[in-house]
A = this chain, B = another copy of it.
Amino acid sequence: MPEVIYLNGQFVEPENAVISIHDRGFLFGDAVYEAMRSYDGRLWAMQRHLQRLRRSLHEIDMGYVDVNIIAEVIERAYQRSELPDASVYLQITRGVQPRRHAYTQDLVPTVLVTVRDITPMLARINRDGESVMTAPDVRWKRCDIKSTNLLPNILAHTAAIDGGAHEAVLYDAEGYVTEAASMAVFCVEEGCVLTTPLGPEILPSITRQFVVEIAADEGIPLREERVSLERFRNASEVMLGSTSHEVCPVTRVDGRPVGDGTAGPVTRRLMAGFKRRVAAGDDAVRE
């Protein structure tokens, strides 16, 4: 089955999957999104995605959107796809209005859900070890909001691809690593996993949340701590984390090998822990 597309109350064919040029998502990036997936016929970590969506909507002054209804739409679109392993994309914009910076509260939000096979996306991931390039983080100061204002992300990501790497790892003005252009990032120093503390500088990544929990469960030391670029480059292990990548080893940073150039022991433990977590279907939100 080709892509399933739900748009504003109905399922549509690709040629009808169009939005107005006056949609504020198009004109201003006045929109938030979530990218989800399924494993073997089941949507994964939905409560966590919905919780984050609720927060993003609230932060852009769209707390009036009923996320329970959105959840039903996502489930219907996913069922319709009949795909065991799907990539599910949701975008909600503030709606359609003749172009004007100021918005009003009476707009009808645009709701888009697409479901497609995740296999081609997964095929681009090298699970033996990816390369990353470091780049300055020039994004806005509210990266905790999952908005479609992604121009700096896609520029950094594409520059990394063009440079022969898989992803860009961003560092702030003080030289501390924040996160990757479209993923969370982790490194290991003396056996301890290090990752940027939650805050306005990074997205509250769901895979990051799982990694923190798995590390706690398995007795792997983990600290939420800002890491300088120098420490990051000298880490014994580096990992990327995202819904599609799960936990993925990074074996080259800026062209230089990480550790011995293969996935390290802590990375392998977290990768295995993540797989067990998926197999158990345990995606309940913990307190």
Let me know if B5 and A157 touch, CB within 8 A: no
Between A and B, 24 residue pairs with Cβ closer than 8 Å are A3-B98, A7-B21, A18-B18, A18-B20, A19-B26, A21-B112, A26-B91, A26-B148, A27-B148, A28-B151, A29-B148, A29-B149, A30-B150, A60-B151, A61-B155, A61-B158, A89-B99, A98-B116, A99-B114, A101-B153, A101-B154, A101-B182, A136-B141, A140-B149
User: Which chain B residues lie closer than 8 Å to A149 at the CB level?
Assistant: 29, 140, 149-152
A181 contacts the other chain (CB 8 A): yes
Query: When A20-B17, A101-B181 are in contact, do A138 and B142 touch as well, CB less than 8 Å?
Result: yes
Question: How far, in whole Å, are A155 and B32 apart by their CA atoms in the complex?
Answer: 13
A interface, CB within 8 angstroms of B: 3, 5, 7, 17-30, 60-61, 89, 91, 98-103, 112, 114, 116, 121, 136, 138-142, 145, 147-155, 157-158, 161, 181-182
Closest chain B CB from A81 CB (angstroms): 15
What are the 6 A-B residue pairs with the smallest beta carbon separation, nearest first? Answer: A29-B29, A18-B18, A138-B141, A149-B149, A28-B150, A101-B157
Select from chain B the residue with minimum beta-carbon distance to A26. B26
User: Which chain B residues lie closer than 8 Å to A158 at the CB level?
Assistant: 61, 101-103
